């Protein structure tokens, strides 16, 4: 189990995580989250002491596997009601900043 001691959980780790999940943080938030995450992880670390040798993982609340359905077409949701929720639209498109660098 990685060491999650508060002194070892660094500001730069918090900044890296924030960049992975695309959330802009202030310096104050970085410091607050550094302390809080380290504290939470210190409580969670007890998990590493459990012997799970040969135990398969459970990845779902139910015990369902390979649920299959006929591939049938269904009526689509009304386009106008969907586009009405867009932060920015143009005609029948969602408008965003250019994704590819044009230079």
Partner 1 sequence: MTDAAAADLLSITLAEGARRLRDGSITSRQLTEAFLDRIDTTDNDVRAFVTITSESALAQADEADALLSRGDATAPLTGLPVAIKDVLMTRGVRTTAGSRMLDSLIPPYDATAVSKLREAGAISLGKTNMDEFAMGSSTEHSAWFPTANPWDLERVPGGSSGGSAAAVAAQQCIASLGSDTGGSIRQPASFCGVVGLKPTYGRVSRNGLIAFASSLDQIGPFTRTVEDAAMLLQAIAGPDPLDSTCYDEPVPDFSAQLERGLDGLKVAAPREFFGEGMDDDVAATIEAALDLLASHGALIDRSPSMPSVPMALPVYYILAPSECSANLARFDGVKYGYGARGGESMWSDMEATRKHGFGREVKRRILLGAYALSAGYYDAYYLQAQKVRTLIRREFDRVFAEHDVIVAPTAPTVAFKRGAITEPYQMYLNDIFTIPANIAGLPAISIPGGFGAEGMPVGLQFVGQRLDEAALLGVANAYERLAEWPTIPPSNVGST
Q: What is the dihedral of CA 87, 90, 91, 92, to 10 degrees?
A: -50
Q: Using the rule CB under 8 A, which residue among 7, 28, 52, 102 binds partner 1? A: 52
Q: Which of 12, 50, 92, 103 binds partner 1 (CB under 8 A)?
A: 50
Cα-based distances in Å from 21 to 15, 16, 18, 74, 75: 10, 9, 5, 34, 34
Angle at 22 between CA 44 and CA 99, to 5 degrees: 150
**Is 75 one of the binding residues for partner 1 (CB under 8 A)?**
no
Binding status of residue 12 toward partner 1 by CB under 8 A: no
Q: Which residue has the tokens 């230079």?
A: 103
Q: Please select the residue that binds partner 1; options are 12, 28, 60, 92, rule is CB under 8 A.
A: 60
- Considering only residues 20 to 39 of the shown chain, the ones binding partner 1 according to CB under 8 A are 20-25, 29, 33, 36-37, 39
State how far the Cα of 25 lies from the Cα of 29, in Å rounded to an integer.
6
Residues of this chain that interact with partner 1 (CB under 8 A) are: 1-2, 13-14, 17-18, 20-25, 29, 33, 36-37, 39-41, 43-48, 50, 52, 55-64, 67, 69, 77-78, 81-82, 84-88, 94, 96-99
């Amino acid at each position: 189990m990685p060491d999650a001691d508060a002194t070892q959980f660094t500001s730069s780790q918090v900044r890296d995580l924030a960049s992975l999940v695309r959330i802009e943080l202030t310096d104050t938030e970085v410091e607050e989250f550094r302390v809080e995450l380290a504290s939470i992880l210190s409580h969670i670390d007890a998990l590493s002491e459990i012997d799970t040798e040969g135990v398969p993982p459970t990845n779902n609340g139910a015990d369902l596997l390979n649920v299959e359905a006929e591939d049938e077409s269904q009526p689509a949701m009304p386009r106008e009601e969907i586009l009405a929720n867009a932060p920015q639209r143009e005609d029948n498109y969602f408008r965003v900043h250019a994704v590819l660098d044009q230079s």
